[in-house]
Amino acid sequence: MKLLFKISLVVFAVGVFFASCIDEVTYGDQLKDEKNLIADFISRNNITVVETEPNAVPYPENVYYKTPSGLYINIVDACDTSTDSLEVNDEVIFRYIKYTLDAKADTSTYLTTIDSREPISFYYYDFTQEQSCKGWHEAVSYMKYNNARAKIIVYSKLGFKFDQEAVIPYGYDIYLKIRK
């Protein structure tokens, strides 16, 4: 009986040892995969990345400005730049199409009232709200005007809490209205 117990104990210890040696994906690996996914998306979509903000708005087609924080943005339409510009605590009414950056993108949309009765709304520069993320606030700061449209790539650190934890970047086609 003692011999059987000792053999069972040895088998268990060996099993635990080998189980602990199984390669797990580290956070560093996830960040590297995210960087590669973004680079692949940029390549597949013939996107040109610039690190100096274009002077002309809208930006040239498929030219994305990479901000110092790592947000990629292409302003598609600035709309009426003669109106008041966005200010801290203005309400931003935000509609979007969200997609993964994989070759076969998974898409969700909140662009029209057919997709969602209510748009997302948040107050610019109020980071206490859960319905927006840092990447959205930064994109809005470049868009600045009512009815502006842009395409953005938000890497996980600028995304929502779940995106940060799962290390998932997303692309968005966004449209905004500003309420003073």
pTM, 2 dp: 0.83
Is the dihedral angle over the CA atoms 33, 49, 133, 171 positive or is it negative? negative
Q: Which structural domains are found in the chain, ordered by start?
A: 27-179 (3.10.50.40)
For residue range 39-92, what is the model confidence (pLDDT) as tens digits? 999 999 999 999 999 998 899 999 999 999 999 999 999 887 777 789 999 999
CA–centroid distance for 169 within its chain: 4
pLDDT of residue 5: 47
For residue range 129-178, what is the model confidence (pLDDT) as tens digits? 888 999 999 999 999 998 999 999 999 999 999 999 999 999 999 999 89
DSSP secondary structure string for all residues of 28-93: HHHHHHHHHHHHHHHHHTTPEEESS--SSSSPPTTEEEE-TTS-EEEEEE---TTSPPP-TT-EEE
pLDDT of residue 22: 60
Report which secondary-structure segment, H or E, holds 148: none
Alpha helices of 144-180 — where are they, by DSSP H? 161-166
